């Protein structure tokens, strides 16, 4: 396609960085950059290696990280800025403590006069934002999520609507939201007739679909009477077909499924309440949570808040202080389906390189020794990326004011 566009004269100018190619899942192909000189042998290549953003410490670390990739054009970033502060590496007992550390340090920075716009918290997967948002709210910190906040995400609202509709079939707004998700071929005209009490006017095949939908709600209601909130959410996504639908979908669908699994993790804290009370409180808290930050933080201050976003969303941005959270093997680098191709592995490393080079003055890296995913607590291995940091560039923190576990 490129050759067709430039014509026989080969008039072309390309700007790009193979070390920041992180969108293969959107069709980007790193070979377009790697093979450019082969495709246009007369082209002049100019390497822009001087970095005006980051300290020498951050760049030295970034260079070490990316050199482990074998499919790349060799370059070495340098700067005329000073060494700067060391990279802080924090090991939290679990994801809650990790999030608390991030919020506490962010609060200290804000109290020193740093603008919230110059503080960013980056994470590999969207579902990680939930526990970090909670920590920010507990500290009373203004923050902005680049993207959609956890309880405002469509998939989370869909699951909650299934539960509310099961508990109250007169909740028409919830019925409207979920009756055709996953798709059942129930359109707006059919919905109008259902709400008007004219189901008998519909064709037999459509009546069958509607009956199956209400039977699903009844199953959820019966299950909820004898099970814990986390178990109910698992039951909902399996019984309704949501899990099957998202598993067979695109990359974005798999991310939505991860978000729902994080909802199961959230629900485990409501499992401790008496049967029935936990589910009701979870629904009430979810309804309130989307407005909670606007109640505790003035709107004009939200623009000055700490930035929360995925690493993908941070590309092209820069901040004085950057936190990269969740640096655990299989989370970052991210792994799906139990297998990782070399191309995927190298893209994950490029993604980490992008995260590191967002920082101008100070970089914080963190991971949790234990993380709860889909309601199950598991002991994590630190990310392979963390073993790249030379000791002379790093300062370590452990379990800031919290639990310590001794293993024999």
105, 401 contact by CB (below 8 A):
no
Sign of the torsion formed by the C-alpha atoms of 215, 219, 224 and 226: positive
66: tokens are 């990316």
pLDDT at 289 over 80: no
CB atoms within 10 A of CB 166: 23
Main-chain dihedrals φ then ψ at residue 92, nearest 5 degrees: -95, 155
Instruction: Give dist(CA 406, CA 315) in Å, integer.
Output: 40
Helix (H, G, I), strand (E, B) or coil at 303: coil
**Burial of 400 (C-beta count, 10 Å sphere; 0-12/13-18/19+):** middle
Residue 406: pLDDT above 90? no
pLDDT of res. 250: 79
Q: pLDDT tens for residues 56-67? A: 999 999 999 999
d(CA 146, CA 229): 29
Cis peptide before 333 (omega within 30 of 0): yes
What gap in Å lies between CA 254 and CA 231, rounded to an integer?
A: 20
DSSP bridge pairs for 310? 123
Beta-bridge mates of residue 334: 330, 331
pLDDT score of 295 more than 50: no
Please say if the pLDDT value at position 296 is more than 60. Answer: no
Residue 256, pLDDT > 50, answer yes
Percent of the chain with pLDDT over 70: 91
Q: Which positions ≥6 away from 41 have C-beta within 8 Å? A: none
Token duo for residue 276: 């029935």
Roughly how many angstroms between the first and final C-alpha of the chain, as a whole number?
Answer: 62
Q: Is the pLDDT of residue 14 over 50?
A: yes
pLDDT tens-digit map of 170-229: 899 999 999 999 998 998 889 999 898 898 889 999 999 999 999 999 999 999 999 999
Better-predicted residue by pLDDT, 14 or 382: 382
Domains of the chain plus CATH, in order, are 2-52 (no CATH), 87-142+298-398 (3.40.50.300), 152-287 (1.10.486.10)
Distance in angstroms (rounded) separating the CA atoms of residues 217 and 230: 17
The pLDDT of 104-117, averaged and rounded, is 96
121 beta partners = 308, 323
Residue 401: which pLDDT band, with cuts at 50, 70 and 90? low
Return left, alpha or beta for 243; rule: phi > 0 is left, psi -120 to 50 is alpha, else beta. Answer: alpha
pLDDT at position 252 over 90: no
If you average pLDDT over residues 156-174, what whole number do you get? 94
**260, 237 in Cβ contact below 8 A?**
yes
- Higher-confidence position of 145 and 403: 145
User: pTM of the predicted model, to two decimals?
Assistant: 0.82
CA–CA distance, 268 with 373 (Å, rounded to integer): 11
């Amino acid at each position: 396609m490129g050759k067709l566009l430039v014509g026989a004269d080969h008039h072309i100018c390309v700007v790009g960085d193979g070390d920041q190619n992180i969108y293969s899942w959107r069709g980007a192909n790193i070979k377009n950059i790697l093979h450019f000189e082969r495709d246009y042998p007369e082209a002049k290549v100019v390497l822009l290696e001087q970095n005006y953003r980051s300290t020498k410490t951050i760049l030295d670390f970034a260079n070490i990280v990316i050199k482990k990739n074998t499919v790349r054009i060799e370059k070495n970033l340098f700067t005329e800025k000073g060494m700067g502060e060391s990279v802080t590496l924090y090991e939290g007992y679990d994801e809650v403590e990790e999030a608390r550390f991030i919020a506490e340090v962010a609060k200290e920075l804000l109290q020193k006069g740093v603008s919230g716009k110059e503080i960013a918290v980056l994470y590999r997967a969207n579902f990680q934002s939930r526990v970090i948002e909670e920590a920010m709210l507990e500290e009373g910190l203004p923050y902005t999520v680049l993207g959609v906040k956890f309880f405002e995400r469509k998939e989370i609202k869909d699951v909650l609507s299934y539960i509310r509709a099961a508990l109250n079939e007169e909740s028409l707004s919830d019925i409207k939201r979920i009756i055709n998700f996953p798709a059942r071929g129930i359109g707006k005209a059919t919905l109008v007739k259902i709400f008007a009490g004219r189901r008998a006017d519909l064709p037999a095949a459509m009546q069958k679909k509607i009956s199956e939908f209400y039977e699903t709600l009844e199953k959820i209601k019966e299950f909820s009477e004898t099970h814990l909130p986390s178990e109910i959410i698992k039951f909902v996504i399996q019984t309704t077909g949501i899990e099957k639908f998202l598993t067979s979908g695109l990359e974005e669908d798999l991310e939505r499924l991860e978000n729902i699994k994080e909802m199961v993790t959230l629900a485990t804290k409501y499992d401790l309440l008496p049967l029935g009370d936990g589910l009701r409180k979870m629904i009430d808290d979810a309804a309130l949570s989307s407005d909670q930050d606007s109640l505790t933080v003035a709107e004009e201050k939200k623009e000055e808040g700490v930035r929360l976003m995925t690493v993908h969303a941070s590309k092209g941005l820069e901040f004085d202080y950057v936190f990269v959270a969740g640096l655990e093997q299989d989370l970052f680098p991210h792994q799906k389906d139990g297998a990782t191709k070399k191309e995927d592995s190298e893209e994950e490393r490029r993604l980490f390189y992008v995260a590191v080079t967002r920082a101008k003055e100070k970089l914080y890296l963190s991971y949790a020794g234990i993380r709860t995913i889909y309601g199950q607590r598991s002991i994590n291995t630190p990310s392979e990326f963390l073993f790249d940091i030379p000791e002379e560039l790093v300062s370590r923190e452990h379990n800031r004011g919290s639990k310590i576990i001794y293993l024999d």
